[in-house]
Structure 1
Amino acid sequence: MDNMTQDLWQHYQTPLFLLTQALSCNFSFAVITAHNPASTLLSSSQNRLLDRQLLREIELLGSPYRALIGASPDLSHMEKSWAVFIDRSMALQLGKKFNQYAIYMVERGEVSLVPCTLAGYNEVCLGRFNDYVRLVYELPDLVT
């Protein structure tokens, strides 16, 4: 495990989720993005294309979903993401399909960081999902 990947893993453990409406934690759901696969920074147009592909995959599942932004606490890094009401195995398949290092799973109101394509990392329970949520009137436009 190189230092850069370890640093990323640490950063993933302090997420901020920007939502336009509260999500019920009575149901399990995953938070998944298609942005910046394998932590490679892409242009906003490349990320939008991947996001549209992910949305098509989500719609094919026929499960409820909501748009959100996954961000660093200081908002210096933001990625369009989706809360998708699917089980863990489906969520991991989607994360792997879009070459994501990790996804977030919310189960019984607790959020965990779950590795997808990173070998040698273990799932980390981060605590209550709502502690990482900020409600906003509208999601910010993302430009890189």
Structure 2
Amino acid sequence: MDDVFAQLWQHYLDSCFLLSQPLSSSLPFAIITAHNPLGQVLEPCQNRLRDRALQGDIEQLLVPYRIIIGTAADLSHMEKSWAVFVSKVQAAELAKKYQQNAFYYVADNVLSLVPCLAGVQEQQIGDFRQRVRIVSELPEICD
């Protein structure tokens, strides 16, 4: 793993999540974004187009889903994401389609970072609820 990717991976491990209301973690779910494929920062309009396409793909699965914002702990970087109640295999297919380095998976309240790339191992991060901040309103994402 090169230094740039190692630094990006560490950012993924340090992420928090913004929700407007609590999510039950009694059922497993994935957290997936379409923003910034392969870690390359895109223009906001490009990320919005990718997000709409991902939402369309999620809707076709006919499963519950909710908006969730993935963010740096200091809120310096945010990406609109989706909490999607699918299997890890289905989540991996979506994440790969949208060229993501990884996605998160929550099972029994344990947050894991699941790579979409060969040579990187899945990592358990810890208690999902400790990474969640409930906010009255989700921010508009203008990266």
TM-score category (smaller protein): over 0.9
Aligned residue number for residue 141 of structure 1? 140
Aligned residue number for residue 90 of structure 1? 90
CA positional deviation for 1:134: 0.1
CA positional deviation for 1:120: 1.4
**Which amino acid in 2 is paired with 1:92?**
A
Whole-angstrom CA distance in 1 between matches of 2:15 and 2:141: 17
Whole-angstrom CA distance in 2 between matches of 1:73 and 1:137: 18
Aligned residue number for residue 37 of structure 2? 37
What SS does structure 1 have at the residue aligned with 2:92?
helix
List aligned pairs for 1:57-96, cutoff 5 A. 57-96=57-96
Whole-angstrom CA distance in 2 between matches of 1:68 and 1:25: 14
**Percent of aligned positions that are identical:** 52
Whole-angstrom CA distance in 1 between matches of 2:11 and 2:79: 14
What SS does structure 2 have at the residue aligned with 1:95?
helix
Whole-angstrom CA distance in 2 between matches of 1:136 and 1:127: 21
What SS does structure 1 have at the residue aligned with 2:5?
helix
List aligned pairs for 1:43-62, cutoff 5 A. 43-62=43-62
Whole-angstrom CA distance in 1 between matches of 2:141 and 2:11: 19
Whole-angstrom CA distance in 2 between matches of 1:143 and 1:10: 23
Aligned residue number for residue 131 of structure 1? 130
Flag structure 1 segments of 5+ consecutive residues without an equivalent.
none
TM-score, scaled to structure 2: 0.98
CA positional deviation for 1:55: 0.1
Partner deviation per Cα, 1:10-68 (whole Å, 9 max, x = no partner):
11101110000100010000000000000010011100000000000000000000001
TM-score, scaled to structure 1: 0.98
Whole-angstrom CA distance in 2 between matches of 1:105 and 1:94: 13
Whole-angstrom CA distance in 1 between matches of 2:21 and 2:87: 22
Flag structure 2 segments of 5+ consecutive residues without an equivalent.
none
CA positional deviation for 1:119: 2.3
What SS does structure 2 have at the residue aligned with 1:80?
strand
Whole-angstrom CA distance in 1 between matches of 2:128 and 2:102: 16
CA positional deviation for 1:143: 1.1
Alignment of 1:111 onto 2:111: yes
Whole-angstrom CA distance in 2 between matches of 1:30 and 1:143: 23
